[in-house]
Amino acid sequence: MNLRRASLIVVPYLWLMALFLVPFLIVFRIALSDTALAIPPYTPTLELSEGWAGLRDMLSQLDFENFSFLASDDLYWKSYLSSVQIALISTFFCLLIGFPLAYGMSNAPEEWQPTLMLLVILPFWTSFLIRVYSLIGLLSQEGMINQFLGWIGVISEPLEILNTNIAVYIGITYTYLPFMILPIYATLIKLDRSLLEAAEDLGCSRTQAFWMITIPLSKAGIIAGCFLVFIPALGEFVIPSLLGGSQTLMIGKVLFEEFFSNRDWPVASAVAVILLLILIIPIVLYQRNEQRQMEANQ
């Protein structure tokens, strides 16, 4: 029994240690190294043959130089700021579209619910890349939106949407919308509707009842939805590189280019470490929100 229990624990434990924790420690260690024209392209490397002396030697050469480089170069802190800004704006648009949609779903007749749910889940399972791709044809200079606006005579020159930050906002809003809708819908559908009736009996208008009851009671869902959009949007790579322009700065894209185009592994690793540090705050807040909700349900 004990041997079985031990092996049950040990197998997934070791797997995650080897393929999640150790890789992350390697990133951290390379972030402290210097760039070099070698294979692998960083220094110092650990010489196993030199034993403890080699290890001590390597550790003494590690420093925070890459981090001070990141702080001194405009490009990096501008990309961090602009990632946060883009993620915030897109989260706001997701909420703006997602909340009314989730609210409409929860007010729809009972027999529609499974179908409406299916309509939200379907894009969720559909390939992310394909969904981003579907926007390219829509937003480009000769795309549907420009054709349509030109046809009804609103614009004479085609608007430039693709390859701008606006396209990135649209892209993130479009692809992450289900993540906003699902948690909000989950709280709205559980909402005790007799409270709304009571409020109306007591003389509240429907709008007042909405602001005083529906919104506060769906707060947990709104917060969860916002984090579920904001956290992955911050490190997004695909959307800025396909929909954004050359002036679109997002840290995921910078990291990718630093690694593949510049082959600067230590700087790419340092960028990754900082990105994680930035993410810790929203992740902790999200976890706290989830925990509070779980306690409320018990």
Partner 1 sequence: MRRLTWFNATSLTLGFAFLYIPMLIVIIYSFNESRLVTVWGGFSTKWYGELFRNEAFLDAAWVTFKVALASSIIATILGTMGAYVLVRGGRFFGRTLFSGMIYAPLVMPEVITGLSLLLLFIAIGLDRGLFTIILAHATFSMCYVSVVVSSRLVSFDKSVEEAALDLGCTPFDAFRSVTLPIIAPAVISGWLLALTLSLDDLVIASFVAGPSATTLPIKVFSSIRLGVSPEINALSTILIGLVTIGTVTASLATKRAVVRRRRAEQMAEKTA
Interacting residues with partner 1 between 130 and 159 (CB under 8 A): 130-131, 133-138, 140, 142-144, 147
**Closest distance to partner 1 from the beta carbon of 212 (Å):** 16
How far apart (Å, rounded) are the C-alpha atoms in residues 45 and 59?
10
Which residue of 166, 232, 245, 285 would you call a contact of partner 1, by CB under 8 A? 232
For CA atoms 168, 169, 171, 176, the dihedral sign is: positive
Site for partner 1 in 238-297 (CB under 8 A): 238, 241-242, 252, 255-256, 259, 265, 268-269, 272, 275-276, 279, 283, 286
How far apart (Å, rounded) are the C-alpha atoms in residues 37 and 56?
23
Q: Which residues contact 123 (CB under 8 A, 6 or more apart)?
A: 131, 177, 178
How far apart (Å, rounded) are the C-alpha atoms in residues 167 and 242?
9
| SS3 category, 188 | helix
**Pair 67, 73: CB distance under 8 Å:** no
Count the neighbouring beta carbons within 10 Å of the beta carbon of residue 6. Answer: 10
Site for partner 1 in 57-96 (CB under 8 A): none
User: How many residues of this chain interact with partner 1, rule: CB under 8 A?
Assistant: 88
Binding span for partner 1 by CB under 8 A among 48-56, 58-66, 212-220, 235-243: 235-243
Spell out, one character per residue from 4 to 23, where the chain touches partner 1: x when CB under 8 A holds, - when not: xx--xx-xxx-xxx-xxxxx
Site for partner 1 in 30-59 (CB under 8 A): 30, 40
For partner 1, the closer of residues 62 and 231 by Cβ is 231
Which residue of 55, 121, 155, 215 would you call a contact of partner 1, by CB under 8 A? 121
How far apart (Å, rounded) are the C-alpha atoms in residues 157 and 71?
41
For partner 1, the closer of residues 177 and 222 by Cβ is 177
